[in-house]
Amino acid sequence: MSSTSFAVFGHPISHSLSPRIHQAFAQQFGIELTYRTIDAAPEDFDTAVRRFFDDGGHGANVTLPHKAAAFALADERSDAAHRSGTANVLTRLPDGRLAAHNTDGAGMVRDMTERHGVDLRGHNTLLLGAGGAGQGVAWRLLDAGVDTLTIVNRSPQAADVLADAIGEPGRAHTRYWADLDDIGSYDLIVNATSAGVLGASLQLPFSLVGSRALCYDLSYGNAAQSFLAWAKTAGARYAFDGLGMLVETAADAFELWHDKRPDTDPVYRMLRGPDA
């Protein structure tokens, strides 16, 4: 296998657009590479990753449910990975060790602020989900200047762990999922749950959506449709899926691997199609 071999690991993963994105980026620079999807069940993830890199793989993207496992597997970790305790990028170092990065938060904020033109400063924010995706974006939301971050997760313990790790009780705190009917409204709601990917519905109250609210789903395509439909019905001013975030995080990984920064806008428009 060539040293220009790349992959994305997930479970499920057949829906992933990452191969198309990285091939489009590579064409901008005349780079030849192979990029494939690898479906690995949680119990097989470590073995599958090590086999990929032992066979000459150079870099891998990682999506649910493996981001915490990718962080644990790595030998070196970026600051963003350290803060979140998760990784969505693994890179083989020259000595064979693996380096972990987390580009989720940076990609999401860049999509919101640069592509969609939203100023995040001062927002009262509701983060739905405290798993790998939620952990990856929480700090970046605070860095971007949101006023408060309320974290809600089906398992309260996971939300508490994330809030404690952030360590800013005046800005980041938790509430129980059962309290969603009574916790008021927010002007930024980020869906970081895996419900859409797994085909489940969140059944959220409309009262969460404040006037002129932005609702953002980290998923894209069909996985985001239920949340976006809820947001629009509830009167949100903006409702975006995470396609732009996916492209931006892929660009960060591409730059790590090739030391070249791709132009994301034409790739986003290609994937979005007539709706771009």
The tokens describing 219, both together, are 């998923």
Give the number of C-alpha atoms closer than 13 A to the C-alpha of residue 99, restricted to the C-beta side. 15
> For residue 56, how many other CB atoms are within 10 A of its CB?
12
> Which residues carry out catalysis?
67
For residues 46 and 246, give the distance between their C-alpha atoms in angstroms, rounded to a whole number. Answer: 24
Query: CA separation (Å) from 256 to 72, 177, 179, 244, 262?
Result: 20, 38, 42, 19, 11
